[in-house]
Amino acid sequence: MSEEIFDRVKLVLGEIQSAQPSNAEELEVFRIKYLGSKNTIKPLFAEMRHIPNEQKKEFGQKLNELKQAAESKHQSVKDSLGTPQKSSAGPSIDMTVPAGDLNIGSRHPVSLVLNHMIEVFARIGFSVAEDREIEDDWHNFTAMNTPPHHPARDMQDTFYLKDSTSELLRTHTSSVQARMMTAHEPPIRIIAPGRVFRNETISARSHCQFHQVEGLYVDEGVSFADMKQTLLYFAKEMYGAETKIRLRPSYFPFTEPSAEMDVWLGTETTTAKKLTKGTGWLEVLGCGMIDPNVLDNCGIDSKLYSGYAFGIGIERSAMQKYNISDIRMLFENDNRFLSQFSSAF
C-alpha cells in the first residue's frame, strides 16, 4: 500500500517537471492544478495515515519536495513570460494622475447667513450671547414688559410645555437679553442668535420655528440715531453698499418708540414680487428704544441708562440673499437643495 502511494507521488512529480506552460492561460491552468485550493497534491497529504511510522518522515519530505517543485516551476515560467509580480507593499500609486473631486459637505444657508451677521456686528463691538430654548414665563414675557393678561401675549402664539403654564419654548431671543441685563452691569453690547418657536401657520413666508439674531445695546446717552446708524451699517454690509432701508412706526411691548425696518428688493423679479407682495420692500427686522420698564425690571436704572434693541429674522435674510422663494425649503433637509451651497463658505 505504501509503495503505491510513493509511486503516485513520483508520478505527480514527473508531471510537474515535464510541464511546459507557454502562455499565461496555460500557466494559470498549471497553478490551479498543482497550487490551487483543490490541487492534486493536497489529497496525497491525507494518505499520511496509511504510511508506516518508520516511513512517515520520508513521505513527508517527498510531499514537501513535490510542493516546492510546483511552486518553483510556476515562478520560473511566470518570470520567463514577464508576468508582473504582486508587490507585498500594496498597489503602486501614480503621483501624476489628477486627484478626484472631494465630496465635501455643505453649510446650511441659515448657518451661512448667521455667521455673516455675527461677523458684521463683531466689527462694531457686539459680542455673542446664547442661552436656553426652554424658557420661563418671567424672562420670556414679564421682564420684557409683558405682564400676565397683557394683550401683547396674544401676538406670540406660544408653545407651552405639557401641563405647565410657566415653562415654554421661547418665542424670541429677547429672553437672552433679559438674562444678560439681570446678570451684568452696563455697558452691554450683545447679539443673541438662536432658534425660536411660535404656533403659526406654515406657508411660503412663515414657519412655526425660525431663527433670530437679536441685538442689545445699553449705556449712558444711547439714542434712536445711534440705532438707525447701526442698522444702516448692518444693511449695507449684509445686502450691498447701495442698499436702501426704511423705518416704519410699529409696536413692541419692550421698546418705545418702536419701528420695523424694510430693505428695498424691487419688483423686477418674480421672487422679489412674491417675497414683498408686490411692494418691493421686504421686512427684515423690528427695533426700538428699550422701554424704561424693561430696564427697571432687570435691575438697571432707567434714569441713568438708555438703550436700543432689534431682532432680525435669519430665514428672511437667507431667502433674500440666495433668491429662495419658499421658507419651507430651509427646513426640509432636501440634499438637492442643500448641495447648491457646497461652495458658499
pTM here is 0.64
Q: Mean pLDDT across the stretch 40-65?
A: 81
Question: Side chain identity at 254, as an amino acid letter?
Answer: F
- Sort strands 209-219 and 188-197 into parallel, antiparallel or unpaired: antiparallel
Q: What is the pLDDT of residue 139?
A: 92
Which pLDDT tens digit goes with each residue over 267-322? 888 877 877 888 888 888 999 999 999 999 999 999 999 999 999 989 888 887 88
Residue 81: phi and psi, rounded to 5, are -85, -5
Beta-carbon contacts of residue 15 (< 8 Å; ≥ 6 apart): none
For the chain, domain boundaries: 2-81, 109-341
Q: How confident is the model at residue 90 (pLDDT cuts 50, 70, 90)?
A: low
Which pLDDT tens digit goes with each residue over 134-188? 999 999 999 998 878 777 676 668 888 887 778 899 989 999 999 999 999 999 9
Q: May I ask the CATH class of domain 109-341?
A: alpha beta
Question: Side chain identity at 45, as an amino acid letter?
Answer: F
Q: Mean pLDDT across the stretch 229-243?
A: 91
Distances (CA, A) of 131 to 139, 161, 169, 177, 253: 11, 18, 12, 10, 22
What cell numbers appear for 318 in the block? Answer: 437667507
Compute how many other C-beta atoms are within 10 angstroms of the C-beta atom of residue 81.
13
